[in-house]
Chain A
Amino acid sequence: MNLVPTEFYLRILPEIVLSVFALLIMVIAGPARHGSRARVNGWLAFIGCLVALAAVMVQAAHPGDAFSSMFRVDDFTIFLHVVLIAATAVIVLLAMDYLPQQGLERGEFYALLLFATVGMGFMVGSVELIMIFIGLEISSIATYVLCGYRRHNSHSTEASLKYFLLGSFATAFFLYGIALLYGASGTTNLYQMASQGLHISPDGISHAGLVLAAAGLMFIGLGFKVSAAPFQMWTPDVYEGAPALVTGFMSAGPKAAAFAVALRVFYVALQDSSATWFWMIWAAAILSMCLGNLGALRQTNIKRMLAYSSIAQAGYVLVAFAALGAQGASAVLFYLAAYVAMNIGAFAVISHWAHREERYVELKDYAGLGFRFPWLGFCLSVFLFSLIGVPLTGGFFGKLYVFQAALHAHLIGLTVIALLNSALAAYYYLRVMVYLYMRPQEQPIECAPFTAPLWLAVASCLGVTFWLGIFPTQALDFAVKSAQQLLH
């Protein structure tokens, strides 16, 4: 019997660290239930994230496969681990501000967040379909529970149930796709599929139809997770009902992880049949952008508006996805990083402003906020400008990269539609700023005191948004390197 080499454990060290901290929180969450003692949970989770980030460094020092080639540490894995764990760290900080304000301070929240991150870590690091599926399930189940975390609120419960039912349905599609792909290739390892070529199976029969069906089914499953049209129906309701902070988390982490899985599956395993599934991505990109932006135009609830916005943003990522090749992959990665920073930032402000029981989530509640709380208004404006794609923000450079990749692939029609969509989208983001600065407040809304974790979280989102917009070189190089490693 062979001993499992230590390196295998080092390669999944971030997941191990996060699991350990999550379990630790579960243990002490009982005693540390109320008042100031409950804060321990949050700080513990935050430390867990920092240690996990350090563990990513260890992971990066040991590139290679682990556990019968189920898990692979390459730059792609590292890139997404950094993005996902950093996103969770910010969410943890925000939770320390949000949960007490909502009277929901309990340790389970942090444990669930960390477990969800473990799941996402496995999603992005695994190169084997069953492991990817398990990762997807771990992260999904934790997210379902988080959605219903305001369990006395009917909207929250509804969101949880809706997300759970539709989510399981979508996952079933994904699983069916896995089964078909296994049938076509005789393996569940993505790189093995790529190397043996899917069209000609070992028995010499062409499986093109089977592969196409598998691609379609898997895209349904993943499209649901990234809320790409036409699988976006659940998004507005769930985003509106879920606690604002959880919405921020959902719109960032799981979405990025699902895109990473899509990259591995479509760009690696199914790369030979890209001509057939390309149109699927192309159509979904156009639908997502148009439906998302048109839907957002009429919203008066800011969470709902950002739900539609996140559908549109998924559309932009799909534009890059449709560009194929290393350039498409790196554009997807860069955009995801920028998107995670700006979207979590926007939700940070929103969840702080929501007050107890999330009373203030309508646009009109934001009237006059900009001048009464200049810094809060400034931060929200920067995140919204980044979502519009105004220069000097990460969102702009991300869009630039996406459009450039699409033009490079001669997708002119798609690029023009994307460009026009990004102009259209300016309207509803700008509308929030109209309320922030240009409308008088109707009722004086007192702002809960700003806590240190909140500032730390918002400042880091702001910093990353500007960093990716002004000095994107490092992140860009990293994304390019990750994309190249993904494809080789």
Chain B
Amino acid sequence: MDFLNHTIVSWTIFLPLLGIVALLLVRGEKQERMTALIFTTATFLLSLHLPFHFNSAEGGFQFLQRIPWIPAFDIHYTVGADGLSLWLAVLTTFLSVLGVLVSWKSIKKNVKAFFILLLLLECGMLGVFFSLDLFLFYLFWEVTLVPMAFLIGIWGHERRLYAAIKFFLYTMAGSVLMLGCILWLYNLSGTFDYMTIRQQMASGLYHLSPGTEMWLFLGFFIAFAIKVPLFPFHTWLPDAHTEAPTAGSVLLAGVLLKMGPYGMLRFDLGLFPHAARAAAGWIVVLGLIGIIYGALVAFVQPNMKKLVAYSSVSHMGFIMVGVFTFSLIGTQGAIYQMLNHGVSTGGLFILVGMLYERRHTFDLSEYGGIAKVMPIYAGFFIWIVMSSVGLPLLNGFVGEFMIMLGTFTATVAHAHVYGMVAAVGVIVGAMYLLHWTRHTIWGELANATNKVLHDLDRREIFVLTTIALLTLFMGVASPYFLNKTSATTAQVVQPFQPNPAVQSAGLVVRQGAGQ
């Protein structure tokens, strides 16, 4: 067991790569699908080892593994997990299994290549969350970029080439600036090791001027803001989502977007607290604009997939507000909302994808009265939409509530205004999602072609059941998840607390809300 604890992270990251090797060896589409399913499932089960053996009391990194790699640059292969990365990694492995399942029938050409890229993407995403060496982090960050662009570009819909190139260039532009900042930090510290740099930054060893710190902060921040995407860096997202195949959208919304807030919490807040505090006002305002703007645009979308894509912009805005108001409970809420959004929006994309497989259109006006022909589908649809709206007992409620609570109680200026705007965002969010439900599920079954639609098959029911149950579980058993993240979160927000008393008060509030 000890050996497993020391290497579990590496096994989780690289098991998908073994899956690629296996995929190269097998022949036949059926076998290829099975292989992909087996390896993603195995990775998921393996990743469950992490929460079960995770010490919730400890905020630092666990399951650490450190191997020298390129001594000339003091680059190590350093991986580990803390409360921040723990659940995101499990979310990744979970959604990857669903990604394989939803692609079971919809991917017909180049099946082998599709699953190879999917597994490579999984490896990259896990690597991003587990890397504790800036070089390694950047490496995995770029590794996620390539397969995603190919998934969109090869298996996407009509305008896939445009979307794939736009996605690639946007992300690349952000990440090269991040690379510049990483190299800057390397020149200061002589290492790429995250923990060393964080400790040296905190001790003020480098004597950075506020201006320099702000530039470094921004270099990282823009790369992450593009990923989130924070308004006004969001324009790639609707295109990428609309054109991507279902599995691509699920992983894009579910995991890739999370790399943004994760990176901000880990690097921007972790390394440059002063600059983060200085810039927070602007960022929160942009996040709030994103909430309202995304919701309004989603409301008028005639294209279902674009609707869900803009809903992501809106939801991710909440997370940004939670992160950059620096309250313990708000940050906990943001982390939880990252998981919720992954599950719920992943579910929404799967739902949209299932309709597309039957009708080959995302056009909202083509649908209506679906509940009459696909009752099981309609049930899942309403359930998952409700989780996204934030219905109490389901997961979305917990996250949004904590973020708003955190915003109202935050010590930053104008916290109340932020909280009120965010609350309006919740209402607008309910508006477009219910509007969408009404036009798709309820109403007259006017379109004749919709009368022959067959309801879900067993595979689809299985996929949606796991998501529905998970939203319920996360809605009622949130302390199970949040207890594991709280120690790390406390560490993250600690530099932002004016005095220790407020910090412990925040802890009390969190425990009160969690139980």
- Give residues in A with beta carbon < 8 Å to B: 371, 385, 388, 390-392, 396, 400, 403-404, 407-408, 415-416, 419-420, 422-423, 426-427, 430-431, 433-434, 437-439, 471-473, 476-477, 480
B166 shortest CB reach to chain A, Å? 10
CA separation between A431 and B183, bound complex, in Å? 28
Residues of B within 8 A of A471 (CB): 70
10 interchain pairs (CB within 8 A)?
A371-B110, A390-B145, A403-B183, A404-B187, A419-B179, A420-B177, A426-B168, A434-B165, A439-B161, A471-B70
Q: Is the CB of A438 within 8 A of B72?
A: no
Is B446 an interface residue when CB atoms closer than 8 A count as contact?
A: no
A-chain residues with CB within 8 Å of residue B168 when the two chains form the complex: 426, 430
Q: Separation in Å of the A198 CB from the closest CB of chain B?
A: 31
Contacts of B382 in A (CB 8 A): none
- Judge if B443 is at the interface, Cβ distance under 8 Å: no
Q: B139 touches which one: A391, A433, A480 (CB < 8 A)? A: A391
- Using C-beta atoms within 8 Å of the partner chain, give the interface range for chain B: 20 to 34
State which of B70, B110, B142, B150 has its C-beta within 8 Å of the C-beta of A390. B142
Known contacts A407-B184, A473-B70; A423/B172 CB under 8 A: yes
Q: Per-position contact with A for B167-187: 1 when CB-CB < 8 Å, else 0?
A: 011001101110110011011
Q: DSSP class of B's interface residues: helix, strand, loop or mixed?
A: helix
- Provide the bound-state CA to CA distance between A420 and B138, in Å: 16
**Chain B, range 105-136, C-beta contacts under 8 Å to A:** 110, 113, 135
| A444: min CB distance to chain B, Å | 17
Q: Please, how many angstroms separate the alpha-carbon atoms of A391 and B172 in the complex?
A: 12
Q: Which residues of B contact A420 (CB under 8 A)?
A: 173, 176-177
User: In the complex, A423 Cα to B73 Cα: how many Å?
Assistant: 23
Q: Which of B72, B160, B180 contacts A407 (CB 8 A)?
A: B180
| Known A392-B139, A423-B172, A437-B153: A415·B164 in contact at CB below 8 Å | no
Asked whether A403 lies within 8 Å of B165 as measured between CB atoms, the reply is no
- Contact string against A for B residues 67-78, beta-carbon threshold 8 Å, 1 for contact and 0 otherwise: 000111100000
CB within 8 Å for A419 and B177 given contacts A437-B154, A473-B71: yes
Which residues, 436 to 480 on B, are CB-close (under 8 Å) to A?
none
Measured between C-beta atoms, what is the minimum distance from B85 to chain A in Å? 20
* Interface residues of B, Cβ cutoff 8 Å to A: 70-73, 110, 113, 135, 138-139, 142-143, 145-146, 149-150, 153-154, 160-161, 164-165, 168-169, 172-173, 175-177, 179-180, 183-184, 186-187
Interface of A is mostly: helix
> B residues within 8 A CB of A415?
180, 183
Asked if B176 and A419 sit within 8 Å, CB to CB, the answer is: yes
Minimal beta-carbon separation of B248 from chain A (angstroms): 14
Q: Which residue of chain B lies nearest to A477 when distances are taken between CB atoms in the complex?
A: B72
Given the complex, which residues of A lie within 8 Å of B176, measured CB to CB? 419-420, 422-423
Identify which of A385, A392, A430 contacts B165 (C-beta below 8 A): A430
Alpha-carbon distance A392/B17, docked complex (angstroms)? 14
| Closest Cβ–Cβ distance, residue B265 to chain A (whole Å) | 23
**Distance to closest chain B CB from A84 (angstroms):** 24
Query: Are B183 and A400 in touch, CB under 8 angstroms?
Result: yes
Q: Does the CB pair A434–B164 fall under 8 Å?
A: yes
Shortest C-beta distance, B121 to chain A (Å), equals: 14
Q: How far is the CB of A60 from chain B (nearest CB, A)?
A: 21
Q: Does A427 contact B187, Cβ atoms closer than 8 Å?
A: no
B138: chain A residues within 8 A (beta carbon): 391
Closest to A385 in B: B146
| Contact of A476 with B70 at beta-carbon distance under 8 Å, contacts A419-B180, A420-B173 already known | yes
Q: How far is the CA of A392 from the CA of B177 in the complex (A)?
A: 19
Distance between Cα atoms of A438 and B157 in the complex (Å):
11
Which 6 pairs from chain A and chain B are nearest by CB?
A391-B139, A419-B176, A438-B153, A423-B173, A423-B176, A423-B172
Residues of B within 8 A of A391 (CB): 138-139, 142-143
Asked if B164 contacts A438 (CB within 8 A), the reply is yes
Residues of B within 8 A of A371 (CB): 110, 113
- A423 touching B160, Cβ below 8 Å: no
Q: Bound state CA distance, A471 and B75, in angstroms? A: 11
Q: Which residue of A lies closest to B113 (CB)?
A: A371
Contact B165 A473 (CB under 8 A): no
Q: Which residues of B are found within 8 Å of A434, using beta-carbon distances?
A: 153, 161, 164-165
Which interface residue of A391, A400, A472 has the most chain B CB atoms within 10 A? A391
- The chain A residue sitting closest to B156, CB to CB, is A438
* Minimum CB–CB distance for A484 against chain B, Å: 13
Q: How far is the CA of A434 from the CA of B145 in the complex (A)?
A: 15
In the bound assembly, the distance between CA atoms of A404 and B74 in angstroms comes to 13
Task: Please measure, in the bound complex, the distance between the C-alpha atom of A437 and the C-alpha atom of B164, giving whole angstroms.
Answer: 12
Q: Are B72 and A430 in contact (CB under 8 A)?
A: no
Q: From A421, which residue of chain B is reached at the shortest CB distance?
A: B176
Q: Are A390 and B146 in contact (CB under 8 A)?
A: yes
Cβ of A433: which chain B residues have Cβ within 8 Å of it? Answer: 150
Chain B residues within 8 Å of A426, by CB: 168-169, 172
A391-B143, A420-B173, A426-B169 known; A472 vs B70 contact (CB < 8 Å): yes
Q: Would B169 and A437 count as touching, CB distance under 8 A?
A: no
Least Cβ–Cβ distance between B171 and chain A, in angstroms: 9
* A427 contacts B165, C-beta separation under 8 Å: yes
CB B196 to nearest CB in A, in angstroms, measures 17
Of B110, B135, B168, B183, chain A has the most CB atoms within 10 Å of the CB of B183
Closest CB in chain A relative to B363 CB, distance in Å: 24
Shortest Cβ distance from B473 into chain A, in angstroms? 37
Residue from A385, A392, A400 having most chain B Cβ neighbours under 10 A = A400
B154:A473 contact, CB within 8 angstroms: no
Q: How far is the CA of A439 from the CA of B183 in the complex (A)?
A: 37
Q: Measured between alpha carbons, how far is A439 from B70 in the docked complex, in Å?
A: 39
Given A385-B146, A427-B169, check contact A438 B70 (CB 8 Å): no
Cα(A423)–Cα(B138), bound, Å: 15
Asked if B72 and A403 make an inter-chain contact with CB atoms under 8 angstroms apart, the answer reads no
Residue of A nearest to B185 (CB): A407
In the complex, A217→B176 CA distance in Å? Answer: 35
Query: Chain A contacts of B160 at CB under 8 A?
Result: 438
Residue contact A473 to B180, C-beta cutoff 8 Å: no
CB–CB B180/A408 < 8 A: no
Q: Is the CB of B169 within 8 A of A423?
A: yes
User: In the bound complex, how far is the Cα of B50 from the Cα of A469, in angstroms?
Assistant: 31
User: Of A408, A416, A423, which one neighbours B187 at CB under 8 angstroms?
Assistant: A408
Q: A472-B72, A473-B72 are in contact. List 6 more A-B contacts (CB 8 A).
A: A385-B146, A407-B184, A416-B180, A430-B169, A431-B165, A434-B161
User: A431 to B149, alpha carbons, bound, how many Å?
Assistant: 12
> When the two chains form their complex, are residues A480 and B72 in contact, meaning their CB atoms are under 8 A apart?
yes
Is A407 in contact with B153, judged by CB distance below 8 angstroms?
no
A420 to B173, CA, bound (A): 7
Contacts of B154 in A (CB 8 A): 437-438
Closest to A406 in B: B183
- Residue with the greatest number of chain B CB neighbours at <10 A, chosen from A388, A407, A422, A427: A407
Task: Provide the bound-state CA to CA distance between A9 and B73, in Å.
Answer: 38
- Give CA–CA (A400, B175) in the complex, Å: 13
Q: Residues of A contacting B187 with CB < 8 Å? A: 404, 407-408
Q: Which residues of chain A come closer than 8 Å to B169, judged between CB atoms?
A: 423, 426-427, 430
A430 to B172: give the CA distance in the assembly, Å: 12
In the complex, the chain A residue whose C-beta lies closest to that of B146 is A390
The minimal Cβ–Cβ distance linking B232 to chain A, given in whole angstroms, is 18
**Chain B positions within 8 Å of A473 at CB level:** 70-72
Residue of B nearest to A437 (CB): B154
Q: Separation in Å of the A376 CB from the closest CB of chain B?
A: 15
Which B residues are in CB contact (< 8 Å) with A419?
A: 176-177, 179-180
Q: Are B149 and A430 in contact (CB under 8 A)?
A: yes
Residues of A within 8 A of B184 (CB): 407
Q: How far is the CA of A408 from the CA of B184 in the complex (A)?
A: 8
**Contact across chains for B186 and A404 when beta carbons are under 8 A apart:** yes
Docked-complex contact B179 and A437, CB < 8 angstroms: no
Q: Do residues A407 and B70 form an inter-chain contact, with CB atoms below 8 A?
A: no
- Write out the residue numbers on chain A whose beta carbons fall within 8 Å of the beta carbon of B150: 433, 437-438
Output the nearest chain B residue to A397 by Cβ-Cβ distance: B70
